[in-house]
Structure 1
Amino acid sequence: MKIYFSGSIRGGREDAKLYAQIIEELKQYGEVLTEHIGQMDLQEDEITDIQIHDQDMAWLTASDVIIAEVTVPSLGVGYEIGRGLEMKKPIYCFHRTEKTSAMISGCETINTYKYTELEEIKVLFEKIFKEL
């Protein structure tokens, strides 16, 4: 199973450590194509925005499922989710805030979960990947 993990990069890196923990958990279920999202020190200066876009779209196309942490609002994450919907990918979004974007929570084909601790995500992953 190829997993596309999405989380905020330019929108804010305050959850990078959490992303790394989520990615480690996801590795039990398949190959995480976007493992770099969990790195504290991303080296974006080494490649152009066009290269970032094209690589991410290639990974998104190759993926079997999209997992997104959407607590920190991000234009890029929203874009990836929208493109994933066009590709008819199963999409699972997780957030710690009371509410998330209505465009995410209001879309019937996006599975959205509120959580408070990483342990809750682990239980949800177990259920999700059994169903996939």
Structure 2
Amino acid sequence: MNIFFSGSIRGGRDDRDLYADLIEHLEDHSTVLTEHVGTENVEQKEAEEGLTDDEIHDQDVEWLRQADIVVAEVTTPSLGVGYELGRAVAWEKPILCLYRPGAEHDLSAMIRGNDAAEVLEYHELETATSGIDAFVREHR
């Protein structure tokens, strides 16, 4: 099983450590195609690798095509995450969106109101990882 993890990069990196924890948990289940989302200085690494925005887009879209499921942490609003989720919905990928209520931003109605995406609200990492486990089992 290939898993596409989506989280904010250019929209804000406040949750980077959380992304790393979620990705580590997902890797217990299978291959995470986008483990770089949880790494420190991801934008700097992309620049060092000489990746253009076009190449980043094409690479991410290819990973999304290869994915069997999509798990997105959507607490920090991100245009890129929204774009990826839109593509995943169009391609009928199973989607789990993780959201921490009480955060600075309310969850978009475009996510919460979309019946093609499952939304799991959580306050603690354990709740998110349990939800991930159930989601993976359901779509394995």
- Superposed counterparts of 1:110-125, under 5 Å: 110-125=117-132
Partner of 2:135: 128
Distance in structure 2 (CA, Å) of the matches to 1:18 and 1:120:
13
- Superposed counterparts of 1:31-50, under 5 Å: 31-42=31-42, 43-45=45-47, 46-50=50-54
The AA in structure 1 aligned to 2:128 is I
Structure 1 segments (4+ residues) deviating >4 Å: none
Query: What TM-score does the superposition give when structure 2 sets the normalisation length?
Result: 0.91
Partner of 2:71: 67
Partner of 1:85: 89
Q: Which deviations, in whole Å up to 9, do the C-alpha atoms of 1:85-124 show, x marking residues without a partner?
A: 1111000000112441100000011100110010001111
CA RMSD, 1 decimal: 0.9
Identity of aligned residues (%): 48
- Superposed counterparts of 1:17-28, under 5 Å: 17-28=17-28
Other structure's SS at 1:124 match: helix
Q: Which deviations, in whole Å up to 9, do the C-alpha atoms of 1:56-76 show, x marking residues without a partner?
A: 000000000000000000000
The AA in structure 1 aligned to 2:4 is Y
Partner of 2:57: 53
Distance in structure 1 (CA, Å) of the matches to 2:129 and 2:87:
26
Deviation at 1:80, TM superposition (A): 0.0
Distance in structure 1 (CA, Å) of the matches to 2:32 and 2:133:
16
Other structure's SS at 2:9 match: coil
Other structure's SS at 1:100 match: coil
Q: Structure 2: which 5+ runs fail to align?
A: none
Aligned with 1:107 (options 111, 114, 121): 114
